[in-house]
Amino acid sequence: MTALKLYVDSQYSSPYAMSAFVALTEKQLAFDLIPVNLDNKDHHQSVYSNASLTRRVPTLVHDGFALSESSAIDEYIDETFPGIKLYPVDAKHRARARQLQAWLRSDLMPIRSERSTQVIFYRPSATPLSTSAQETARQLFFFTEQVLPLGANNLFGDWSIADVDLSLMLQRLICNGDPLPQRLLDYANYQWQRPSIQAWVKMPRPPL
């Protein structure tokens, strides 16, 4: 058994579980990946909830220390283990990366609702974006175009975990055939080919 365990949803479709999985993979750490069946309410069982505290996935367990909430997990991994930096070294860029992660997790609800990650990992939706979701998409495009330098493949020079989270949000639209600016399409598709991301994308998934 390894010292690291990552609890994720059993459908391997949580964007937050994916972020933590990529963080561990980029650090080249050995870890046990443990699926939790959310449909069966396994995350409410005392064994899991006592460790997770928030009763959500992902939860990371490291030598008996349990931590949930993906951005907290990403930061813990980056600060605890050597290897590639998950966050920018520059303080302003690092703050921007954290701002982006917080925004993606707390806002953009129309996109997250109408274009769940099932459109990426299972099948697209036949329902067009609502007016609200279209406006939210424009907000997403505006933010991305402001922080992504022209001609760049990464947000902050070197790759960071924020690139994972942002590209996944954009892939919700791309995989469903929704329009977005070519520059953002190219950026998201470039990020999507990163081996750590593809390791999650290619995970065998149970049927819905």
The CATH number that applies at residue 108 is 1.20.1050.10
Specify the pLDDT at position 154: 98
Residue count (the chain): 208
Number of domains in the chain: 2
Which of 118, 99, 95 shows the shortest CA–CA distance to 107? Answer: 99
Token duo for residue 13: 């479709």
Specify the pLDDT at position 167: 98
Specify the pLDDT at position 43: 63
Percent of the chain with pLDDT over 70: 93
For residue 115, being part of any structural domain is answered with yes
Token duo for residue 46: 């005392």
Interval 180-206: pLDDT, tens: 999 999 999 999 999 999 999 999 999
Q: How many CB atoms lie within 10 A of CB 37?
A: 12
Residues 6+ apart with CB under 8 A from 193: none
The CATH number that applies at residue 72 is 3.40.30.10
Specify the pLDDT at position 195: 98
Q: Are residues 102 and 179 in the same domain?
A: yes
For residue 157, being part of any structural domain is answered with yes
Please state, in angstroms and rounded to a whole number, the distance separating the CA atoms of residues 47 and 56. Answer: 13
Of 41, 68, 85, the domain-final residue: 85
- Tell me whether strands 59-62 and 4-9 are parallel, antiparallel or unpaired: antiparallel
For residue 37, being part of any structural domain is answered with yes
Contact present, 36 and 9 (Cβ < 8 Å): yes
Host domain of residue 46: 4-85
Interval 120-130: pLDDT, tens: 999 999 999 99
Token duo for residue 161: 């975990």
Q: Are residues 44 and 112 in the same domain?
A: no
The more confidently predicted of residues 15 and 50 is 15
Interval 29-73: pLDDT, tens: 999 999 998 766 656 566 676 676 777 889 999 998 999 999 999
Of 85, 110, 126, the domain-final residue: 85
Of 65, 85, 105, the domain-final residue: 85
Q: Are residues 137 and 187 in the same domain?
A: yes
Contact present, 36 and 42 (Cβ < 8 Å): yes
Percent of the chain with pLDDT over 90: 88
Interval 138-156: pLDDT, tens: 999 999 999 999 999 999 9
Q: Are residues 116 and 71 in the same domain?
A: no
How much of the chain is helix, strand and coil, in % rounded to 5?
50, 10, 40
Q: Are residues 114 and 190 in the same domain?
A: yes
For residue 48, being part of any structural domain is answered with yes
Specify the pLDDT at position 38: 74
Q: What is the mean pLDDT of residues 164-180?
A: 98
Q: Are residues 179 and 104 in the same domain?
A: yes
For residue 208, being part of any structural domain is answered with no
pTM: 0.94
Please state, in angstroms and rounded to a whole number, the distance separating the CA atoms of residues 152 and 1. Answer: 40
